[in-house]
Amino acid sequence: MSEIRPESPRTLVCFDFDLTLTDEHLFRVVTQMVRAGATREEACMKAISYLDQRGPRGGERLWSTLCQLLMKGHGLAVCSFTSYPELAMALWQRGIKQLRARGASREATAWLSRPIVVYGDPDPRLRPPLPVQGAYLVEVSFGLMASQGKQLHIERALKVANDRLLSSFDPEGAGALPCLIAPPSGALREPFSRVILLDDDPRNIDHALRSGHEGIFVDPPGQGGDEHLDQLAQLLELDA
């Protein structure tokens, strides 16, 4: 007799950005360029060019995993201590073509075309000069980053995801994120109740666990491969 496993609830998967979705710590790279005299826009464009050349950490495996979890009705967000949310948004934009090539629906690719990026910036002077649609600022002082982790990030990401889910049922909800893909339970209106944080900082994972969420530690680039994606696939019961 085959084992009967409980169905995975609708899950919001939250990725850190630097060293989790990238092989380089782009916050540091961009900040160094700005301090050396480059404009913020010039430095960000160079970082985006780097992403275009190198792609994300995990490459093809990352896009395949994201396609599967989104097509199962789960959600996606980036939760990062950064002043440059545009970099994560640019990376997701590049992934739209990758997901479409894997058969993803419009509802799935909407998580990349209209992303949720929550950033709590370590240097307020480097914030975007104008509001960026899809980017949500959580003000966390430098001294509280280690003691609070990404609890505020996760709370904000959950609220935005569930608000968008509700809006998608409103026929007059102009601009709502289409996410009407049923989760494993089959209930379209099931809210996001489970969070999995993937992060290269063990302190952020510890805080997520203490808050009742789940966490996957991501080994530093060069010290680990795609094991974190293997763990994510196992937790969400995705194909290997």
All domains of the chain, ordered by start, with CATH? Answer: 11-235 (3.40.50.1000)
Q: Give dist(CA 115, CA 4) in Å, integer.
A: 34
Q: pLDDT digits over 39-84, tens only?
A: 999 999 999 999 999 999 999 999 999 999 999 999 999 999 999 9
Work out the percent of the chain whose per-residue pLDDT is above 90: 75
**Global pTM value:** 0.93
Q: What b/e readout covers 79-100, taking b as 16+ CB neighbours within 10 angstroms?
A: bbbbbbbbbbbbbbeebbebbe
Q: How confident is the model at residue 1 (pLDDT cuts 50, 70, 90)?
A: very low
Q: Tell me the C-alpha to C-alpha distance, in Å, between residue 92 and each of 63, 174, 239.
A: 10, 22, 22
Q: What angle in degrees, to the nearest 10, is found between the helix axes of 85-101 and 40-54? A: 30
